[in-house]
Structure 1
Amino acid sequence: MNKSLVILFILSLFVTAVSFAQEDTLSLDVDDNIKLKTKKVKEVPDYDPLAPARAAFYSAVLPGLGQAYNKDYWKIPVAYAGLAIPIYFYINNDKEYNRFRDAYKRRLAGFEDDEFFGQVNDDGLIEAQRFYQRNKEISLLVTAAIYVINIVDANVSAHLRQFNVSDDLSLQPDFQFDEFSGKTHYVMSLNYKF
């Protein structure tokens, strides 16, 4: 019986040694200096569906504020110049209109001491009033149009700022060889990567 216990003990040591030897041969040593090559992916900002509406609202409250919200700072002086020029012409045309209107009112009241007396007749004063009144209205319309363009620009710029312009969508020429006919086909392929 002693012999069988000794053989069993030696056999168990052999099996244990073989199992440890197998574990050692299958184990991998990991080198800490190994670095993985990864493709650097551009970070895509989160899509904010309210950004265009917010930019348009800011631009409606104060012209140029929507452009500042979109970080298009160079557009702010353009917006103010676009609004200032027709406002200047409106004020200038209003002053001229008032000069001719006051002169015409004085002539209707019987005075002959207005600044245009002897140079412009009554019909000329009426025509000048119509001319400057029309120019005032055009200046007002141009001011309103530039104000609306300012709002639309802020809205569109906020939309385009969130537009995805990655390389995942591309249009490329491709050549396909037809094995049956032996001809090459030229095709355009639209590639989209997820």
Structure 2
Amino acid sequence: MRNNQLYILFFLLFTFFVGKAQQDSLKVNNKSSLDPKEEKQDYEPYNALAPAKAAFYSAVLPGLGQAYNGSYWKIPIAYAGIGTGVYFYLENDKQYDRYRDAYKARLAGRKDQFEGRITTDGLIRAQEFYQKNKEISILVTVGVYVLNIIDANVEAHLRQFNVNEDLTFKPKMDFNSLSGKTNYGLSLNYNF
């Protein structure tokens, strides 16, 4: 059971941290427009309150900040992470109550459902185990909630970042016809 929880937790965290694939930065654009005013901007105009709004929206309702940013694909990931944490909390709480009730019944001298199968020390260890798992589930849930807020804030900042072809940093390959070898390097271009 514990291994399954770890695998599920790892899978959810992995999917949460893996973002969209970056667009190809080496793609050649053949723009025929010579007038820079006619070119469409790839970014939104700067809005200083956009990151704060996105973070506030995500704090009020998880996923709302992602919707504000237009990243609708992240909303199910946020709810899956929070829902998984809540599910494991409730499941561990149910098991904790089960072993605690059996321990209380044993101390009172009544029969319990584990009599003859689990010792009193085993009941105590089971309670401690499920109590620890409940606390970990709470931490995971709060962690996913906080990551949801941070993600909305950071994405709102990055959406306003100017990423156009005027400033580029590209790898460059140059074929040397004299030696027959390829020269590798980096090229920094800044266009006015």
- TM above 0.5: yes
CA distance in 1, matches of 2:185, 2:86: 56
Question: Which AA in structure 2 matches 1:170?
Answer: T
Distance 1:189 1:75 in 2: 35
Structure 1: 4+ residue segments shifted above 4 A: 186-189
Cα distance, 1:188–1:84 mapped onto 2, change above 3 Å? closer
TM-score, reference length from structure 2:
0.70
Which residue identity is paired with 1:159? Answer: H
- Other-structure match for 1:38: 35
Q: With CA pairs under 8 Å and 6+ residues apart, which has the higher RCO, 1 or 2? A: 2
1:85/1:187 CA distance change after superposition, 3 Å: closer
- Matched residues, number: 148
Which residue pairs with 1:98 in the alignment? 97
Match of 1:131 among 125, 129, 132: 129
Q: Which amino acid aligns with 1:74?
A: W
Give, in whole Å, the separation in 2 of the partners of 1:70 and 1:119.
55
Distance 2:188 2:89 in 1: 53
Structure 1 residues not aligned, in runs of 5+: 1-35, 176-185
Aligned counterpart, 1:81: 80
Measured on the aligned residues, the alpha-carbon RMSD in Å equals: 2.3
Q: Deviations over 1:1-47 (max 9, x none)?
A: xxxxxxxxxxxxxxxxxxxxxxxxxxxxxxxxxxx963531235320
Distance in 2 (CA, whole Å) between partners of 1:76 and 1:93 is 26
Q: 1:142 aligned to 2:140?
A: yes
Structure 1 residues 171 and 71 mapped into 2: Cα distance closer, same or farther (>3 Å)?
Answer: closer
1:108 to 1:187, Cα distance in 2 relative to 1, 3 A:
closer
* Counterpart in the other structure of 2:65: 66
After TM superposition, give the deviation of residue 191 of structure 1 in Å: 3.0
Aligned equivalent of 2:16: none
Question: Is residue 164 from structure 1 mapped to residue 162 from structure 2 by the alignment?
Answer: yes
Q: Distance in 2 between matches of 1:164 and 1:76?
A: 25
SS at match of 1:191: strand
Q: Which has the larger radius of gyration?
A: 1
- Per-residue deviation at 1:151? 0.6
Normalized against structure 1, the TM-score is what?
A: 0.70
1:63/1:188 Cα in 2 relative to 1: closer, same or farther (>3 Å)? closer
Compared CA separation, residues 124 and 164, structure 1 to 2 (3 A): same
Would the aligned equivalents of 2:86 and 2:138 in 1 still touch at CA under 8 Å? yes
Q: CA deviation at 1:171?
A: 3.6
- Contact residue 88 and residue 134 of structure 2 kept, 8 A: yes
